[in-house]
Copies of this chain bind each other. A is one copy, B any other.
């Protein structure tokens, strides 16, 4: 099951006591990284995440606090003797910025494959290099530049029903094939389809990551039913609302309302302003808006289980 580490929780600039917002999601020995600001490679080491396992990098947008760590990250990946390609996903039209930043990465022994995602509509793809059942979706957000929210949905194999397989006289060597979702033709001419010997009792695991943006209703639809919703909350002080509107950000209270409407199971706040020294001070007030909230700290981890 995926293990999620919120590597950093800061916005705007890295601080000596708070890394920039970034998230590492490991599953079956491979990992997705979301965003890579200055210092993210150090934050990953501090949080005991293995950069060598990262096969997919999702970039929300190309403001410096979300991408400036990219060249150092790529070089460190190279130093880990990587040869497998790395897939980087960016908002539409931003390949050039990634390539510009890579002008100081002249010694990479692996391919960097850059993919652009729509900034007009939702889009989705299967992250094959992590898991053929992992679907990544992106949602255009409302920020001062093109920005994407991401959700990761880990679909899960059906539960195999051995009693049913036995009852239907399916030979043992065919069970694996049926379990991975393919039909089989038996010697006696019968076709057995997967649904005859499996049961879909495992719900998918969904993680949604949204920063930097104004709050708006479609975010809740996008995050609907997430076991974990990670969302920006720049400030807890309601007096900052106007300035947040102006800058394309949201308050912690906005994030709570989005989580409530999304019927998310848990909300992790992140992307605090450098001027928000004690985000935990708002805990009591925020719990009234959304009970299962975590005022995240750098390096916070969880494993989502059944």
Contact = CB atoms under 8 A, between A and B. Distances in A.
Interface stretch (A39-47, A181-189, A288-296): A39-47
Contact of A104 (B12, B46, B97): B97
B71 A42 contact: no
A284 interface: no
A163 to B, nearest CB: 52
Contacts of A65: 72
Contact of A38 (B15, B41, B105): B41
Interface string A53-97: 000000000111101110110011001000000000000000011
16 contacts: A12-B79, A13-B75, A15-B45, A16-B45, A16-B46, A38-B39, A38-B41, A39-B42, A62-B104, A67-B104, A68-B68, A68-B69, A68-B72, A100-B103, A101-B103, A101-B104
Size category, A interface? 20 to 34
Given A63-B104, A101-B103, A103-B101, A69 B38 contact: yes
Contacts of A75: 13, 64
Contacts of A46: 16
A64 B71 contact: yes
A255 to B, nearest CB: 24
Contacts of A71: 38, 64, 68
A14 B103 contact: no
Interface in A233-251: none
A223 to B, nearest CB: 27
Contact of A41 (B13, B63, B67, B76): B13
A107 B12 CA distance: 13
Given A16-B46, A38-B68, 15 more contacts: A12-B79, A13-B75, A13-B76, A13-B79, A14-B42, A15-B45, A16-B42, A38-B38, A38-B42, A38-B71, A38-B72, A68-B69, A100-B100, A100-B101, A101-B101
A24 to B, nearest CB: 15
A141 B124 CA distance: 50
